[in-house]
Amino acid sequence: MGTKTDKAAEAVRGSVIDGLTVREFDGEPMVLATELAERLGYTHPPEVNRLIKRSVKEGKLSDSDLRVITTRCLDGLGRSRSTTKIWLNETGAVLISLSSRTETAVRICRQVVAVFIAWRHGRLGAANGNGVAELAKAFASVATSVTVLTAANTRHESLIAELLAASAKRDQRLDEIDATNAKRDEQADADGKRIGFLERHVAQNGHISQAQHESLRAQVRDLAELEHAIGKWPSVEAARRDIDTDMGRAAGWGGKSEPWRFLPLQSLPKAFVVLRRRRAIIMREARARARERQQKFDHVPDEPPTKKTTH
């Protein structure tokens, strides 16, 4: 960004058009950046200086699009103070207006174009008779530039919206993965505690063998089928659950955290006592029902013999 001294600042010719100060530098009109910032709605107009510097760094603006004027003066205490002002040509003013993305950007951009057109009309009209033609040509060129820049800005905002939506979906998916992993970790901790309990129990007390476990479960299954067959339970599964509950109370074991495979060896006789007791009850009930059926059959009167008729 080039810098002009105080003498250069005094050499420019300026005027005010539609509230914007327009000055000519080397035959090219320029507007004051801080006044443009106020039109765009910046609460702190010097903030536009950062936007200008960023645009230059990104290559959107060149040194020929702006002038930096530094003036020096003495304050009330006689100390030297410097003031820096940035001036923008037509291209720079239009680009900064659109890059600001404020609510009034497009409207202010049109006003800026109108200010430069008014400046050309006043100067070119005095110079020659072709001022109107030059004005129309300049307006058409600037209008085309504004249209292209507006379309590019719209595409840019659409792309940003798509990127934000994709980022939101990715964050949601990551949250779901984290929640799943947290549940898996909780289940792993619970399983670890359960396995640790069973291992300590087996080490301290011992447990039934695989053959004893298979024999116990086979007897439970047979008893459940028998109780279901005589109509005591609506299903074999309901009978099995009741038998397991009964054995658990007697043996002090059972439940999801205490599988029968790890039943303490000293508790096995208590479980078999329950099975024998329930089987004896079922057999008594079965014999009682059989006697009742036999008694009903014995009390059925015999049918009298059929008399044969002779002809």
192-220: pLDDT as tens digits: 665 566 556 555 667 888 888 899 999 99
Map tokens 């035959």 to a residue: 27
pLDDT score, position 112: 83
pLDDT bucket at 7, cuts 50 / 70 / 90: very low
Look at 17-21, 33-37, 303-307 and tell me which has the smallest mean pLDDT. 303-307
pLDDT band at 299 (very low <50, low <70, confident <90, very high): low
- Tokens matching residue 185: 């970790």
Q: Is residue 126 pLDDT above 60, yes or no?
A: no
CB contact set of 113 (below 8 Å; sequence gap of 6+): 90, 94, 139, 142, 143, 146
Contact assessment for residue 39 and residue 29, using Cβ atoms and an 8 Å cutoff: no
Cβ-in-10-Å burial (0-12, 13-18, 19+) of 300 comes to exposed
Edge-first strand order for the sheet with 28-32 is: 3-4, 66-74, 80-88, 28-32, 20-25, 13-17
Q: Give the pTM.
A: 0.36
CA separation for the pair 219, 193 (Å, rounded) = 31
Tokens for 203, please give them.
């080490």
Q: What is the mean pLDDT of residues 56-82?
A: 81
Q: Which pLDDT belongs to residue 10?
A: 36
Mean pLDDT of the chain, nearest integer:
77
More confident call, 110 vs 8: 110
Q: Torsion over CA of 164, 170, 171 and 175, rounded to 10 degrees?
A: 160
What gap in Å lies between CA 42 and CA 35, rounded to an integer?
A: 10
* Cβ within 8 Å of residue 221, ≥6 positions away: 236, 240
User: Which tens digits make up the pLDDT trace of 75-88?
Assistant: 777 777 778 888 88
Structure confidence by residue, pLDDT tens digits, 220-248 = 999 999 899 888 899 999 999 999 999 98
For 84-105, how does the pLDDT look when each residue is reduced to its tens digit (9 = 90+)? 888 888 888 888 888 877 777 7
Please give the share of the chain, as a percent, with pLDDT higher than 90: 11
